[in-house]
A and B are shown apart, each in its own frame.
Chain A
Amino acid sequence: MSFWEKMERLDRRVIYVLLIAAVAFALIKPVGLAITISKETQATYDLFDGLPPGSIVWIGCEYGASNITELQPILTCVLRQGLAKDLRFITGGMWAQAGNLAESAWEDVSADFPDKQYGIDFVNVGYRPGGERLLPALVADAHEALMGRDNRGTSLDDLPLMQEFKSLTDAAAILVLVSGTPGEKEYIRLVTDQHGIPIVAGAVSVSVPEAMPLLNSGQLKGLVMGMAGAAEYEVLIGKPGSAVAGMDAQSFAHVLIILFIVLGNLGHIALGKHKKKA
């Protein structure tokens, strides 16, 4: 049996073990590969950096717990950047776990900003059902669409920040963190294209190709692309976190996968399987 025939019969579990080993090694012994800032991440950072203090930013948490590795660092980075600049945030979303994820991010960030208070600088209105139909309802009357209370059950009338937020159009900018539908397209169709609110997105890697045409057309002002984008954002705000820590492992895993793709193709050619059958 030739080398290529052995490789062809390689148990897939060997690949899994090698992948686990590569990722574990890079996490335990990081080599500190360079992280360069893409213009898409920089544009997102610049948008929030350019907002006047006191501006209200709506953050749509349109993802689930399975996407926290890629999207949660983006959420905490933007909160840190914005709170340092005295921006105010309202988080919510059309995905069921929106409320819990935003609450978790606020817990992570608020300890570093003891002067910032819930209800004044940050409100989490949480999940509301109805899918994309929630967005025009938020534009028409945010308090009515949110059933008059936030994620913690507090009346919106008791939250000072919500007195200045009667409609989604009161937001100076929108950040939408997306991992599927409803996501950035719904915000663009139903809110930002109609009302001229600048919108940026943070997307899981698998959603990036779909978001790129929206960036190219200017409908999205910036895009933070997956874990790599999150790592760039952590570098931009000067607070390296889980995304930066994971980039070495990400790169190691990619090199391993590329290696197997190359080996697979070489074996395909070597065994003559690329020739068309008569």
Chain B
Amino acid sequence: MFVQGSALQNWIIAIFTLALFSVAFKENPLYRFVEHLYVGMAAAYGICLTWFNYGYPVLFQRIPGGKAHYIIPVIIGLMMYTRYFKPIAWLSRFTMSFLLGVGAGFVLSTTFRSLVLLQVTATFLPLWSSQSFAQTINNLIIVCGVAGTLIYFFFTAKRKGVIGVGAQFGKWVMMVAFGTAFGNTVMARVSLFLGRMQFLLGDWLKIIN
């Protein structure tokens, strides 16, 4: 298992796990304490990691080492903190503008081909497959499901005739998709719980191997 600590570590982990689970039965101070401790530790962990993985190497190794251009993102980043000083707070808007511009350009330039074009292409399937009958059914579900879902969100025509049937079918397809997503969410949550139970019964209580 992932956690292979000393007996003391296992006891601490077990007590904190049980404290967090206890909220399912009743809100209590122990749960609150552990919750706040977790949030604080996670924030500190993130700050330390970012500093030692990026801040420190850039400021004390890269820039003194001759890579002066790293000073540009450092300045842009520091400008964000000018919002705490009213007379120069406007400077933080440049950082926001920079982030928005780069972020939008970065995402848009790569998203269309991979997550739109190739996904649309993947729905161009033969409605009769010579490989197997099951493949034909799969292809029909994908093609009709995509068409129906798109029709459902077509709001500029009255929902009757072909549009009505298509939208109704699209709604059912979405319901099945939501059900699948919910089922997977339940499975994920049970897995999380299972992991903790494996730790409590195994690493801590030694009831299971």
| A interface residues, Cβ below 8 angstroms from B | 13, 16, 19-20, 23-24, 27-28, 65-70, 72, 96, 101, 104, 126-130, 132-133, 147-149, 185, 188-190, 193-194, 204-209, 213, 216-219, 226-228, 242, 245-246, 249-250, 253-254, 257
Contact = CB atoms under 8 A, between A and B. Distances in A.
Given A13-B24, A127-B49, A219-B114, A69 B122 contact: no
Contact of B187 (A68, A104, A254): A254
B184 A209 contact: yes
Given A129-B53, A133-B106, A219-B114, A27 B188 contact: no
Contact of A209 (B46, B111, B177): B177
A27 B197 contact: yes
Contacts of A149: 57
Given A226-B184, A246-B191, A213 B119 contact: yes
Interface in B152-192: 177, 180-181, 184-192
Contact of A245 (B122, B180, B192, B198): B198
B170 to A, nearest CB: 16
Given A69-B192, A189-B110, A24 B184 contact: no
Nearest to B52: A153
Contacts of A16: 24-25
Which 3 pairs, one residue from A and one from B, show the smallest C-beta to C-beta distance? Answer: A69-B195, A217-B122, A205-B188
A254 B190 contact: yes
Nearest to B48: A96
Interface in B50-87: 50, 53-54, 57-58, 61-62
B12 interface: no
B208 interface: yes
B53 A24 contact: no
B7 interface: no
B49 A96 contact: yes
B73 to A, nearest CB: 10
A185 B160 CA distance: 37
A23 B177 contact: no
A128 B53 contact: yes
Nearest to A68: B2
Contacts of A27: 194, 197-198, 201, 208
Contacts of B113: 193
Interface of B: 1-2, 24-25, 45-46, 49-50, 53-54, 57-58, 61-62, 106, 110-111, 113-115, 118-119, 121-122, 142, 177, 180-181, 184-195, 197-198, 201, 207-208
A66 B192 contact: yes
B114 A69 contact: no
Most buried by A among B54, B181, B187: B187
Contact of B115 (A20, A189, A208): A189
A96 B46 contact: yes
B188 A246 contact: no
A228 B184 CA distance: 11
B201 A69 contact: no
Contacts of A226: 184, 187-188, 191
B6 to A, nearest CB: 15
A189 B208 contact: no
B207 A28 contact: yes
A8 to B, nearest CB: 20
Given A69-B191, A205-B188, A216-B122, 15 more contacts: A27-B194, A27-B208, A68-B195, A127-B49, A129-B50, A129-B54, A147-B54, A147-B57, A147-B58, A189-B111, A206-B185, A227-B187, A245-B198, A249-B194, A250-B191
Given A189-B111, A242-B1, A205 B197 contact: no
Contact of A250 (B24, B49, B177, B187): B187
Contacts of A219: 114, 118
Most buried by A among B113, B180, B186, B195: B195
16 contacts: A23-B193, A23-B197, A66-B192, A70-B188, A129-B53, A129-B54, A188-B115, A189-B115, A205-B188, A206-B184, A208-B184, A209-B177, A213-B119, A227-B187, A250-B190, A253-B190
Nearest to B138: A216
Nearest to A23: B197
